[in-house]
Structure 1
Amino acid sequence: MNDRPLPACPVETTLMLIGSKWKVLILRDLMDGTRRFSELKKSIGTITQKVLTSNLRDMEACGLLTRTVYPEVPPRVEYTLTQTGYSLKPILDSMVDWGTAYKNLADSARP
C-alpha cells in the first residue's frame, strides 16, 4: 500500500484512489479479468501511453492492482486487480446503474 497519509473523510479517501476518469475506466476494464497494457490502451481509447502508465503505477502503489512482467521479447506486461481492487465493484456497478438511469431520463427529455 501507499505510504501517503489518508484523509479523515472516507469519501475523500475513495476519490483519492479512484477520482480520475482514467482510473475508473481502468477498473472497469480489469473487472472482467487480466489485461495486457496494449489491451487497456486500446479499450480506453484517447489516453496517452504516458498517462496510462502513470495511472497504472499509482494504482499499483495503492494496492488496487498487480503488474506482472513476463521475460519475453517483446516484453509482455499484464495487470490484474487485487482483492482491494475488486472490492470497488459495487461502486462501479452503482455508477453503471446511475449513468443508465440518467441517460434514459436525458433521452426521454429530448424532443
Structure 2
Amino acid sequence: MERKTMNTNLDKLSKEDLEQLKKDVDKALKSVDARRKAEAKRAADQAAKEYGFSLDDLFGSTAAKGTKGLPKYANPADPTQTWTGRGRKPGWVNDALKAGKSLDDLAL
C-alpha cells in the first residue's frame, strides 16, 4: 500500500488545532473500519452464495445474534452510518433523497 505523506508541520499548530485534528483522524479511522467491515461482510456473503449457501447457513441465524443484516448503503458524510435497505429509512437517507441523490449514490 502506498503511504501518503502530509505536509503539515504539527509543531506550528495550536493545541486546539491539534485536538481537532485528532478528533478528525479518529472519526476517519472509524469510517475506514466501518467501510472495510461492510466490504468484508459482502465479500463473505458473495463467497457463500457461490457455493449455494448463505452466511446464515454457514454460521447460524444472524437474527438470533441481534444483527439486522449486511449494510447496503452508507452515509457519504459519515460512512459509519449504514442501512441494510430494510425497514424505515434513516434520516440521512431521506435527506440525501430530498437533495436529489439516488439510493445508487449511497450504495456501498
Task: State the TM-score, normalized to the length of structure 2.
Answer: 0.31
Q: Which has the higher strand share?
A: 1
Structure with the bigger RCO (C-alpha within 8 Å, sep 6+) is 1
Larger radius of gyration: 2
Task: State the TM-score, normalized to the length of structure 1.
Answer: 0.31
